Amino acid sequence: MASRIPLQQLSRATTTAAFPRSFFSQRLPASVTAARSLATVPPPARSSLGGTKDGKGTAIVLLNMGGPSAVAEVHDFLSRLFADGDLIPLGPLQKYIGPLIARRRTPKIEAQYSVIGGGSPIRRWSELQASETCKLLDKIHPSTAPHKPYVAFRYAAPLTEDTFVRMKADGVSRAVAFTQYPQYSCSTTGSSLNELWRLSKKFDAEGQIEWSVIDRWPTHKGFVGVVARHIEESLKTYTEEDREQVVLLFSAHSLPMSVVNRGDPYPAEVAATVYAVMQHLNFKNPYRLVWQSQVGPSPWLGAQTSNTVEEYVKKGQTKLLLIPIAFTSDHIETLHELDLEIIAESKQPGIKRAESLNGDPLFIEALADIAKTHLESQGRTSTQMALRCPMCKSEKCAEQKA
């Protein structure tokens, strides 16, 4: 390389992470940090990764897929989504096939958003979650305050690029990229981090912003507890006689089998969440993990949520509770796919859905605790971020994790 990239700058893209090798260490030795700083412009004085001495506090940036807030935004949303090979791999012709699929699917998806109120509520919920989390962090971790909330969506406003530009204008010097996908996948969190890396090279070559990443939290006690509470509240709507016979169907967004067979950690981490929730519930009910939102003819991870419900009804099992286990707020996959396409069309009063996490104060407490623990650790990422998928063939990933 012609020039040395500052340690604080995001560096090198990869399908599974977007940060330099140093981000994969829990803490860098002082000697290494000192040696590297000789080749860079000194950053603002920092007490540690946990805080700054410049009084600007810490930006908490919630990363998510996003969704169109209005029907008119649907086509642009789908165009960005199908252009992302990390999320939906379409091969070498993706830049040609993606726009065709987006254009073909736009009318159908516009109709679905019209039915659920004219747009996705995910932005409203995400901005509320970010704001309330930062307010709580100011109280429980004042050493890194003030905490300023940002939301960065991958495919809809506020786009990651727009958020990055705003952070630069705001003078942010310390930021935490906080994924709102509790379970890590190269297709979701990985894609968001890749975009963050690309933008850092474009907008922050001088390394103004020092980043760290909360890249997964599938079994966090607070997260598990609030999901379990929502299940318990839903079970109370059944008769006492039926309650323990209700089958719990944990539904998560599926992945293409090409991604699963590469060794993506997402299926295992979703399963870990499900098991932790069932432990919290003392395994009182029978349960299954199922997968939704498949797109296109290629094989996806199953069993499919819709097929599972249909088959259980045929078998006479009509007391089913669907639980969104990989989503942190309501959006089209809960409000239309689960509520309307599956539950309403089943015409079975015993098939219901547990409430999404949305603005539940206990969920906000969980988010704040996750962020607090991360800030206290002074680490850059989890240990898992350093490990490539065993069948990964990405040259960028190989370069990054060499």
C-alpha dihedral (144, 149, 155, 159), degrees to nearest 10: -100
Residues 230 and 348 in one domain: yes
Helix (H) or strand (E) holding 211: strand 210-214
Asked if 183 contacts 384 with a C-beta cutoff of 8 angstroms, the reply is: no
Give domain status of residue 236, yes or no: yes
pLDDT at 399 over 50: yes
- What is the reported pLDDT for 86? 78
* pLDDT tens readout for residues 230-264: 999 999 999 999 999 999 999 999 999 999 999 99
Residue type, 181: Y
- What is the reported pLDDT for 277? 98
- What is the reported pLDDT for 41? 35
pLDDT at 39 over 50: no
Task: In whole angstroms, give the CA distance from residue 184 to residue 202.
Answer: 26
Residues 58 and 80 in one domain: no
Give domain status of residue 370, yes or no: no
Q: What is residue 159's three-state secondary structure?
A: strand
Give domain status of residue 10, yes or no: no
Q: Which of 84, 204, 264, 369 is catalytic?
A: 369
Residue 391 buriedness (CB in 10 A; 0-12 / 13-18 / 19+):
exposed
Which tokens go with 86? 């990390």
Task: In whole angstroms, give the CA distance from residue 168 to residue 170.
Answer: 5
- What is the reported pLDDT for 52? 55
Residues 26 and 75 in one domain: no
Q: What is the CATH number of the domain that holds 227?
A: 3.40.50.1400
Partners of 58 in the β-ladder: 147
Give domain status of residue 334, yes or no: yes
pLDDT at 307 over 70: yes
Residues 329 and 382 in one domain: no
Residue type, 172: V
Give domain status of residue 358, yes or no: no
More confident residue, 81 or 39: 81
Residues 349 and 319 in one domain: yes
Residues 176 and 28 in one domain: yes
Which tokens go with 314? 């045929």
Is 369 marked active-site? yes
Helix (H) or strand (E) holding 292: strand 287-292
Task: In whole angstroms, give the CA distance from residue 180 to residue 80.
Answer: 19
* pLDDT tens readout for residues 183-209: 999 999 989 998 998 899 899 999 999
pTM for this predicted structure: 0.86
Residues 133 and 231 in one domain: no
Shortest CA distance to 326 belongs to which of 301, 352, 297? 301
Give domain status of residue 5, yes or no: no
What would the mean pLDDT of 357-381 be, rounded to a whole number? 96
Give domain status of residue 14, yes or no: no
Helix (H) or strand (E) holding 151: strand 147-153
Asked if 173 contacts 44 with a C-beta cutoff of 8 angstroms, the reply is: yes
pLDDT at 305 over 70: yes
What would the mean pLDDT of 121-131 be, rounded to a whole number? 98
Q: What are phi and psi of 174, to 5 degrees?
A: -140, 130
Share the mean pLDDT of the chain: 87
- What is the reported pLDDT for 298? 86
List the single range of 18-32, 57-71, 284-298, 320-334 with lowest mean pLDDT.
Answer: 18-32
Residues 260 and 164 in one domain: no
Residues 55 and 144 in one domain: yes
- What is the reported pLDDT for 47? 40
Number of domains in the chain: 3
Structural domain boundaries enclosing 262: 221-353
pLDDT at 8 over 80: no
Give domain status of residue 13, yes or no: no
CB 97: neighbour CB atoms within 10 A? 16
C-alpha distances in angstroms, 326 versus 12, 184, 269?
Answer: 28, 10, 10
Residues 143 and 211 in one domain: yes
Residues 293 and 394 in one domain: no
- What is the reported pLDDT for 53? 52
- What is the reported pLDDT for 26? 39
Residues 187 and 319 in one domain: no
Percent of the chain with pLDDT over 70: 84
